[in-house]
Amino acid sequence: MIKPHGSDELNPLFVYDPAENEALQKEAEGLPSIVVSSATAANAVMLGGGYFNPFTGYMNKADALSVAEKMHTTDGLFWPTPIMNLVENAGDIKAGSRIALKDPNVEGNPVLAVMDVEGVEQISDDEMAAMTEQVYGTTDPEHPGVAAFNAQGKVALSGPIKVLNFSYFQSEFPDTFRTAVEIRNEIKEHGWQKVVAFQTRNPMHRAHEELCHMAMERLGADGLVIHMLLGKLKPGDIPAPVRDAAIRKMVELYFPPNSAIVTGYGFDMLYAGPREAVLHAVFRQNMGATHLIVGRDHAGVGDYYTDFGAQEIFDTIPEGAMEIEIFKADHTAYSKKLDKVVMMREAPDHTKEDFVLLSGTKVREMLGKGIAPPPEFSRPEVAKILMDYYQSLNG
């Protein structure tokens, strides 16, 4: 099985021992505490589940700046995006403090993790702007990822953490949320050696479904992990429970039994395009996938990134930095000429009119009116779930 990134064994930071977990919960009641940002909470969940292996906690300023600029920590570990605990004001917290990190996304702000603070460092406006530009490719405050990153504050708390729960992800998505540890175990149980991961924050249309079949066939893969983001999205994105139901229906009806598993992870979308594509690859390696499908404008938003920037960035990565491999996909669409879904670059004799192409806006409009998109675009059973959701919005 593929090794985790940066170590021989996966090192999840969740405290699995019930007695130790309970003792830490009790201790946390008497510790100084802060309610962290949603991004910091998501980082804790990813560290807890082993997705951000081999890190033991939040990065200090030097590592965060190095990762943003050069995609590696100061000691040379390859990593594409900073893992930070940024606050507006550290108050009395200083190096050597032990603190409780409280969850901003759950009522009552329960303790998410206990942290041993090793550093409290001010990030300058210039450093913040440089990190933003390097990770997101822009400093435009209208970019949802840029806005979320810069809204947290400019004081970095660094140091190791022990994670006590998985926020709302485990309770709200009990059938879907899985840690990297659990997915590795499931891959082992299936006996899969070559495993393709598919990242999604949207329901899957015919083109996505066929892309997964194509990747599995061309790579000779044993299994597919459909891995959906369950955290915070931008307004207008389809909520996770609806997405989950639609994807499960598609897998149940259109994939051979035991060839695909539907899972999710607890992280907020960065919309960081190429850099986030690399992050997606690294943590998919940690969960046991050997390949990740990277498509057109992977993890992008608006017009901030080029169509294939998220594929091209992998050509710049030092050899041996990651073990996982990338399956580079073009835009896929239904060909009326060939009566099947194809990658558009593989049909050079086609014009735009030869494909069934619908914009996201047009599809949402149709679903809202109770009109199913054509079956070449969306499976009818999937469209039904989405129509019900959009019509419920229109009341």
Is residue 90 predicted with pLDDT exceeding 80? Answer: yes
210 shares a domain with 314? yes
234 shares a domain with 89? no
184 shares a domain with 149? no
Helix (H), strand (E) at residue 61: helix 61-70
349 shares a domain with 291? yes
In angstroms, the first-to-last Cα distance of the chain is 49
Instruction: State the pairing for strand pair 57-58/155-163.
Output: antiparallel
356 shares a domain with 256? yes
301 shares a domain with 372? yes
193 shares a domain with 162? no
DSSP for residue 3: P
Residue 22 CB coordination number (10 Å)? 12
The answer as to whether 296 is a domain residue is: yes
187 shares a domain with 129? no
Quote the CA–CA distance of 388 and 32 in Å, as a whole number: 46
The residues that bridge with 355 in the sheet, in sequence order, are: 335
156 shares a domain with 298? no
Q: Which tokens belong to 329?
A: 């996909």
The answer as to whether 380 is a domain residue is: yes
Q: How many CA atoms lie within 13 A of 152 on its CB side?
A: 27
The answer as to whether 234 is a domain residue is: yes
Give the predicted TM-score (pTM) of the model: 0.95
150 in active site: no
202 in active site: yes
Per annotation, catalytic residue among 11, 109, 201, 248: 201
Per annotation, catalytic residue among 202, 248, 275, 345: 202
The answer as to whether 10 is a domain residue is: no
Q: What is the residue-wise DSSP string for 117-153? A: --EEEEPPHHHHHHHHHHHHS---TTSHHHHHHHTS-
Domain residues for 261? 176-394
Quote the CA–CA distance of 225 and 288 in Å, as a whole number: 10
Q: Which tokens belong to 327?
A: 């399956």
CATH number of the domain where residue 243 is located: 3.40.50.620
328 shares a domain with 289? yes
The answer as to whether 79 is a domain residue is: yes
The answer as to whether 8 is a domain residue is: no
Helix 380-394 × helix 240-254 angle, to 10°: 160
Split into its structural domains, the chain has a count of: 2
Those residues whose C-beta lies under 8 Å from the C-beta of residue 309, and which sit 6 or more positions away, are 273, 274, 297, 300
The answer as to whether 220 is a domain residue is: yes
Long-range Cβ contacts of 252-256 (<8 Å, 24+ apart): 253/379, 253/381, 254/209, 254/379, 255/212, 255/213, 255/224
Q: How does pLDDT run across 176-232, given as a tens digit for each residue?
A: 999 999 999 999 999 999 999 999 988 899 999 999 999 999 999 999 999 999 987
Is residue 326 predicted with pLDDT exceeding 80? Answer: yes
CATH number of the domain where residue 94 is located: 3.10.400.10
182 shares a domain with 128? no
Span 161-166, average pLDDT: 98
142 shares a domain with 26? yes
How confident is the model at residue 218, as a pLDDT? 97
How confident is the model at residue 364, as a pLDDT? 83
How confident is the model at residue 395, as a pLDDT? 67
Can you tell me whether residue 81 is helix, strand or coil?
coil
Q: Tell me the average pLDDT of the chain.
A: 95
Last residue of a domain, one of 170, 187, 221: 170
How confident is the model at residue 315, as a pLDDT? 96
Range in 72-86, 92-106, 144-158, 229-243 the model is least confident about: 229-243
Last residue of a domain, one of 110, 141, 170: 170
Q: Which tokens belong to 107?
A: 């009522």
Q: Which tokens belong to 163?
A: 């994670």
Task: Evaluate the omega torsion of the peptide bond into residue 54 and state whether it is cis, within 30 degrees of 0.
Answer: yes
The answer as to whether 383 is a domain residue is: yes
Quote the CA–CA distance of 376 and 337 in Å, as a whole number: 12
What is the sign, positive or negative, of the torsion defined by CA atoms of 45, 48, 49, 51? positive
Last residue of a domain, one of 153, 170, 187: 170
Quote the CA–CA distance of 254 and 342 in Å, as a whole number: 17
Strands (E), 36-110: 57-58, 86-87, 98-102
